[in-house]
Amino acid sequence: MQIELKEAGKRFNREWIFKGINYTFTVERPTVILGSNGSGKSTLMQTISLRSMLSEGEIVYRGNDGDLIPIEQCYKAVALAAPYLELIEEYTLTELVKFYLEHKLFQQKITIRQAIEIMQLERSADKAIRYFSSGMKQRTKLALAILSETPILLLDEPTSNLDHLAMLWYRKLIEEYAKDRIIVVCSNHQTIEYDFCIDQLVVEDFKPTINRH
């Protein structure tokens, strides 16, 4: 499977966030999108995940046979964890995982109980998400995405709100459940987030010298 960006550009009003990106994401070459805070890396991630439309150019998903995948089917192939994704705070953790499984499956037939154990949140299985700390919410987001049986895994600043032990937990999860998938990580140069990536895409390299209408 591949994701292709062709002359991809995004702007807000008259300002280009990025412009002229030509890049192909593949299973063989995990990629990190690097940039400082406010550089536009999360905006780029949102266009890759099809949550936001490009202003110019195109994004193309291709299957293993090289054929184009219709946009309406692409969403099923993507698992995303990002700071801007909201969890349903009225649900307990168990209810949230059950709801997630109605839309995506876990790898290796992982059960709800097993997923919560992997999150290391067994004691909070029946606690409402609204009472979770920011670190617990981040563990939940990461586990849901990484455990998903999807060919594409998108992680935006995955170690946000994680302490050192939780960062090591995240890396173990990547090693065990992120094989043979297209992986794209957004980072503001936190190397533990992405040092397993082979390629780098620096957002600042695709900003026009002069932004104009």
Please name the fold of domain 2-206: Rossmann fold (3.40.50)
pLDDT for 213 equals: 45
Structure tokens belonging to residue 56: 């110019």
Give the pLDDT confidence of 148-157 residue by residue, as tens digits.
999 999 999 9
Question: How do the domains of the chain map onto residue ranges?
Answer: 2-206
CA distance 179 to 191: 19
Mean pLDDT of the chain: 94
Percent of the chain with pLDDT over 70: 98
Give the pLDDT confidence of 115-130 residue by residue, as tens digits.
999 999 999 999 999 9
pLDDT for 212 equals: 45
Which is nearest to 143 in space by CA: 180, 102, 101, 198? 101
Q: Is the pLDDT of residue 187 over 80?
A: yes
Give the pLDDT confidence of 16-74 residue by residue, as tens digits.
999 999 999 999 999 999 998 888 999 999 999 999 999 999 999 998 888 888 888 88
As a whole number of angstroms, the longest Cα–Cα distance in the chain is 54
Sequential DSSP letters for 46-90: HHHTTSS--SEEEEEEE-TTSPBPPHHHHGGGEEEE-TTPPP-TT
10 beta partners? 18
pTM for this model (two decimals): 0.93
Which is nearest to 153 in space by CA: 120, 175, 126? 175
Rounded mean pLDDT, 166-174: 97
CA distance 138 to 163: 11
